[in-house]
Amino acid sequence: MASDIIRSDIGRRTGIALWRQIADAIRAGISSGLGDENGKLPPETELAEQFGVNRHTVRSAISALVSDGILRAEQGRGTFIIRPERLTYPISKRTRFSASLAEQGQKGEARIMSSEIMPASAEVAKALALETEAPVLQIRSVGIGGETPISRTTAWFDCHRFPQMADNLARFGSVTKAFAACGLDDYLRKSTMVEAYHATLDDIEILRLSPGSIVLVTLATNADLQGRPVQFSKTRFAADRVSLQIELDPFKQD
C-alpha cells in the first residue's frame, strides 16, 4: 500500500482527543514522507479507515492542521501538505543564530522583545559564575526564519563585565556584534543541555503553535576564550520546525 507510513495507533480514554492524536500523527508523518509527489494526502475516508475512526474525527484533525497552516484542503480535489520540511539548526562551538539561518537561504533575524536589568537567580548566577543576586541583563528575543517564528530565547549577561551590552544589543541587533563592541572579539559555546516539553501558553502565542505542540529547550552557556562564561541562555524551539544538528567536530572539515 502507498501510505502505510502512519503506523502510530490511536488510543482512547487517554485524556488526548482522538482528533488530536490523529493530527499529531499526520504532522509526524509529513516529515517521514506522508503524501504523494504533489503532497496530496490520502482521502479522508481512507485515513479514517487507517486510524479506525469516523471520517468526522479525521476531519477535525485536518481542520486543526489547516488552521495551523500545515495543510490545505480543496473541495473535490483533496488535502495537501503546505510546509514540508524542517530547518536544521546547528549547535557547535561557534553557534550563531542569524548566520546559521542565512546559510539555508532564510532571512534570519533575532527580534529583541524586552531588555531588563535584574538580580541573578541561583540558576543564572551559577551558570555565569557570579554571586546570587548580582545584577544581570536579561534579554528576551524571538528568532524568525523567513516568515515564521522558530525559537524564543531568554539570555543573561553580567552587567558588571558588559555594562554597555543593552545599548549595543539594541544598536546592532546581534549578540556577536554587541560583544565585539564591548571589547569581546570571540566567544565559544561551552555547554548545551537539550530537553523537550509540551508547549506552554506563552510558547503557543509567541511561536504560533497549536496547543499540545512540542518545544525543544536548550540551556546554553557561551564563554570567552579563557573559558569564563559570558552568556547564559534558554531557548525554546518549535520542535516541528527544526532539527538540532550537533557539531562535535572531532574531524575538522576536510
The residue ranges that bind its own copies (CB under 8 A) are 7-11, 14-17, 19-21, 23-25, 28, 31, 60, 64, 86, 88, 91-93, 188-198, 200-202, 204, 210-212, 214-216, 223, 227, 239, 242-248, 250-251, 254
Whether residue 187 contacts residue 179, with contact meaning beta carbons closer than 8 Å, is answered with: yes
Phi, psi of 21 (to 5 degrees): -65, -40
Question: Chain centroid to CA 111: how far?
Answer: 14
Whether residue 37 contacts residue 78, with contact meaning beta carbons closer than 8 Å, is answered with: no
Q: Report the residue number, 62 or 215, with the smaller CB distance to DNA.
A: 62
| Least distance from its own copies to the Cβ atom of residue 212, Å | 4
Q: Report the residue number, 80 or 172, with the smaller CB distance to DNA.
A: 80
Q: Report the residue number, 52 or 135, with the smaller CB distance to DNA.
A: 52
Instruction: Check binding of 7 to DNA (CB under 7 A).
Output: no
Return the closest-CA partner of residue 43 out of 23, 62, 67.
Answer: 62
x/- letters, 72..111, toward DNA (CB under 7 A): -xxxxxxx--------------------------------
Q: Which of residues 2, 7, 9, 13 is near DNA by CB under 7 A?
A: 13
Q: Report the residue number, 78 or 173, with the smaller CB distance to DNA.
A: 78
Q: Which contacts qualify for 146-149: CB closer than 8 Å, 24 or more apart?
A: 146/106, 146/107, 148/208, 148/241, 149/206, 149/207, 149/208, 149/238
Of its own copies, DNA, none, which one sits near residue 243, judging by CB under 5 to 8 A according to partner kind? its own copies
Instruction: Check binding of 215 to DNA (CB under 7 A).
Output: no
Cβ-Cβ contacts under 8 Å for 22 (sequence gap 6 or more) = 10, 47, 51, 53, 57, 58, 60, 61
Sign for the pseudo-dihedral over CA of 101, 107, 113, 115: positive
Q: Report the residue number, 63 or 106, with the smaller CB distance to DNA.
A: 63
Of its own copies, DNA, none, which one sits near residue 244, judging by CB under 5 to 8 A according to partner kind? its own copies
The x, y and z cell numbers of residue 58, run together, are 479525521
- DSSP for 53-84, please give it: S-HHHHHHHHHHHHHTTSEEEETTTEEEES--
Instruction: Check binding of 152 to DNA (CB under 7 A).
Output: no
Sign for the pseudo-dihedral over CA of 25, 30, 34, 35: positive
Instruction: Check binding of 37 to DNA (CB under 7 A).
Output: no
Of its own copies, DNA, none, which one sits near residue 212, judging by CB under 5 to 8 A according to partner kind? its own copies
Instruction: Check binding of 14 to DNA (CB under 7 A).
Output: yes
| Interface ranges with DNA (CB under 7 A) | 12-15, 17-20, 41, 43-45, 52-54, 56-57, 59-60, 62-63, 73-79
